Amino acid sequence: MSKRIAALSLAAVAAGLAACAGRDANQAGGNSFALPSFSKSVSITATLPKDTIGEELPTEGVGTVDDTYWKATLGGFTQSKYAQALGFPPGTKLTLMNLSADITHTLDYVKKIKKPPANFPNNPNLPVTASGGKFGKGYASGPISPGKSVTIMLAKAGIYLIGCAFHYGEGMHTVLVINKNATPGPEGTPPAQ
Ligand SMILES: [Cu+2]
């Protein structure tokens, strides 16, 4: 499912023809698309499907944002195009998609907060192995390979800090708000080339 969406996005970017994109996606079945000719810029141009979090290193294209509401620099995660705070209602069946061309990432629970500011702890101990099928305390996606995705259930309302176990210190951390009326925060801009 998620692979097909990814393939569809690639085809749409490449050909700009929706009709061809659908047919190609069915035939290609995922990663057989000629990634080398599009390189990493594909992930920059894609806008994500509903109920999806895309992640990659800020320097891979998703960038960072200095979020004035959360009083923190957020990066590496988006539900649109560029880095932002994330917002979904409880009960969302969420897809975590690794947008990277060649780097493995995770999505881990870091801590729960009540309100801004989002004070990200230094060097939290984030498990690399998968833990839990529902998002909450102790959740860890486990390694998500480039172009792959996993699905989780957002069960409990709250404000959570999340990050990548491998690249938390490289700016892959953001705020995830699970609330009935949650909306994503303002987006950042792509990193300087
Ligand atoms: Cu990572």
Return the closest-CA partner of residue 27 out of 11, 47, 41.
11
Tokens 């979090």 correspond to what residue?
53
What pLDDT does residue 10 have?
43
Return the closest-CA partner of residue 118 out of 79, 156, 149, 77.
77
What are the residues whose beta carbons fall under 8 Å from the beta carbon of 56, sequence distance 6 or more? 43, 62, 76, 98, 99, 100, 103, 105
Burial of 47 (0-12, 13-18, 19+ CB in 10 A): exposed
Q: Report domain extents, the chain.
A: 1-38, 46-178
The per-residue pLDDT of the chain, averaged, comes to: 83
What pLDDT does residue 30 have?
41
Residues 115-137, mean pLDDT to the nearest whole number = 95
Select the CATH number that applies to the domain covering 46-178 from these four: 3.40.50.12780, 2.60.40.420, 3.40.640.10, 3.40.50.620: 2.60.40.420
At 130-178, the pLDDT tens digits run 998 899 999 999 999 999 999 999 999 999 999 999 999 999 999 999 9
Give the Å distance between the CA of 172 and the centre of ligand 1.
Answer: 6
> Band of the pLDDT at 15, cuts 50, 70, 90?
very low
Give the Å distance between the CA of 107 and the centre of ligand 1.
Answer: 8
Give the Å distance between the CA of 27 and the centre of ligand 1.
Answer: 30
Give the Å distance between the CA of 74 and the centre of ligand 1.
Answer: 14
At 66-85, the pLDDT tens digits run 999 999 999 999 999 999 99
> Band of the pLDDT at 41, cuts 50, 70, 90?
very low
> Band of the pLDDT at 46, cuts 50, 70, 90?
low
